[in-house]
Structure 1
Amino acid sequence: MNTDSQKKRHTFIIPDIHADERLDQALARLMPEYSRTQIKDWLDSGSILINGLAAKGKTRIKGGETVTAEIPVITRPHWEAQPIPLNIVHEDDALILVNKPAGLVVHPGAGNQDRTLMNALLHHDPALQALPRAGILHRLDKDTSGLLIIAKTAAALKHLSLQLKKRSLLREYQAIVYGTMISGGSVDAPIDRHPLQRKRMAVIDTGKSAVTHYRIAEKFRAHTRLKIRLETGRTHQIRVHMAYIRHPIVGDAVYGGRIQLAKGLSEQLITALRQFKRQALHAFALGLTHPDTEEFMRWEIDLPEDMNHLIQVLREDLNRNAP
């Protein structure tokens, strides 16, 4: 991995169709590979000139102005492409949808410099090296399985990121939690880094807004299968919120603590719970407005084998004790 500082020069004429628009809005359309925040910063610093002069973002343009931009750029880290199998659910010119298995880390980082989803994507499509995070729009924890969306172009990444920001991107999960829940509901509790245990997140009054909606999919004797929809996407959000309402996710050693064994569970179920070594959480559905066609698309995938097995044992335990 290496990075180099350099400058990129842009020179172009603003088309007349943008007449009477704000300068920052027009530039956002004409420079889709950059965020509006970046463009504002460059206007403020004088890195973008209009007809050779500094200008404010709120300036109304007439059309025909010459834009000259000397933009400082940090070349993105060059990560190694590695031939790691990918379960691709959908791919087109704008995006890739991947079913990530439990145990696969999404981004390289401390302790995981390679063998990640990003390394696999760069092998699948080397052009992704030009995009931030190889176009990966959001993330799943290492031991959470399921659907992830990857943008293949700068325009698609910007379009999808805006959907994520506006909370119009649909992300649905299934989870198996401890305890028999009575009804569905929502958790609206802010999340931030734990003040003492920095690798953990926690519900904190001064944290960032976090909203999780859940409904009951199936009840067992001492467990519940939930369908969960994220409204926001904070780190570890579902795991933190479920633990916060005292229904931690089965297998979550970080937020769930020790295995909870209710009285009367079958030996088969006790064994299955002890052998389940990751959080029973799976991103099973994802919906979005396609960046190119503007059509709403939704995908849904099956639960992984380990969760299906656990559910089957939970059902057998329930039936064994049925009157």
Structure 2
Amino acid sequence: MTLRAVTLAAFAALISAAPATAAPATAFSDLPGWAQENHAAALAAFRGSCGVAAEPQMARVCGLAKAAGPLAEAEARRFFEDNFRLDAAAGSGTLTAYFAPEYEARRAPQGEFTAPVRPKPADLADAGPYADRTAIEARPATDALAWMKPEELFLLQVQGSGTLRFPDGRRLKALYAATNGRPYLAIGGPMRSQGLLPGEVSADSIRAWLATHRGPQAQAVMQLNPRYAFFKLAPDDGRPPSGSAHVPLPAGRAIAIDTAFHAMGELLWIDADRPVLPGAKPTYRRLALSLDTGAAIRGPVRADLYLGEGEAAGDEAGRVHHRLRLYRLTPR
């Protein structure tokens, strides 16, 4: 898949905020957080994923990194500073985050497990819009791969992939297979404007409201988003999920970007501050690789940071909605 090909705006992208602007750095030493970065860990992530880059100069630097092998902190920092120059993207934008969730599932409809995990339809073409969410959900699910709670299936579609856990202890990965080609609409804004969430609008509050109002009311809200994702199931091999670049996503070091402005395998410095949501970390400043895409990730200064798998990653991801300054590391 693309872990993020579905919406790929993690839970935090269910809401919106207008970023402010800030003056860009002009050298590595000027980057907020550069001195505190774990350059050795960043180089390890770069060495493991840089092969997806098609640009010849990046391929050359990738070869140097692989030949050098693991480096100590000071040497790793020097590697980046010697082999790259810093190019700031104009303006500021938004950083959100996503993760690979784990949900309970059933083999057949049972109790609150009423939402089918649908495979890619045989009549779904590679281009052009397909039926919208409302029409798809009205169809019989005779070929369902599994059954989930409706709000959790919706959020799985937002994330793009995850792990399903069955009562017998078996675990299967739900992997992105396709979408219906419809535009993605974040439901947080409409829920706020309709007064459904009078307090904080966050991933947790959206999920809680959908669960509490499970049935026609929640279904009507979820159907505001016409985009629908289809899945395929595979054994849980314990490996991290893969993104659009078809390599495992290193947690905390991979971002989804807009390919109209960034190439797969680019090395970027994210400088994110001014969180919108309570309980969020104040800053995210680190090196990351563009290894994924997302329907809601649009613009030159827009990124979605992959934080890993499981509940803790999900809790953190749901609070990430920060003002972003983005820098490309261009090979010298």
Q: What range is the shorter-chain TM-score in?
A: under 0.3
- TM-score w.r.t. the length of structure 1 is 0.23
